[in-house]
Amino acid sequence: MKTTKAIKVTFKETGHTEYFGCLAAIYELYDREQLGIALPSLWQKELPYQNKRVWIQRIEIKHKPQQNPKQ
């Protein structure tokens, strides 16, 4: 079984969840005010992290490797 790491961001007010490949990618769609934390500050925190606006956690996505990968 193969795993891929991702960042899960859940907005507490709406329950909306999005997935990202890295912390910096989150800030391509959302700003510090929407998330309640700036990127440099988030880099210094351990995940999972939560505040009154969001819950941010590192997850692993498990998937089956391709049987006939294209070459």
Other Cβ atoms within 10 Å of 54 Cβ, number: 20
Residue in the structure block whose two tokens are 């089956």: 64
Residue 68 has pLDDT above 80, yes or no: no
Question: In this structure, which amino acid lies at residue 71?
Answer: Q
pLDDT for 10 equals 98
Q: Tens digits of per-residue pLDDT, 17-58?
A: 999 999 999 999 999 999 999 999 999 999 999 999 999 999
Domain boundaries, the chain: 2-63
Q: What are the residues whose beta carbons fall under 8 Å from the beta carbon of 19, sequence distance 6 or more?
A: 6, 7, 8, 9, 59
65 pLDDT tier (thresholds 50, 70, 90): confident
**Per-residue three-class SS string for 33-54:** HHHCCCHHHHHHCCCCEECCCE
Q: Tens digits of per-residue pLDDT, 51-64?
A: 999 999 999 999 99
pLDDT for 69 equals 67
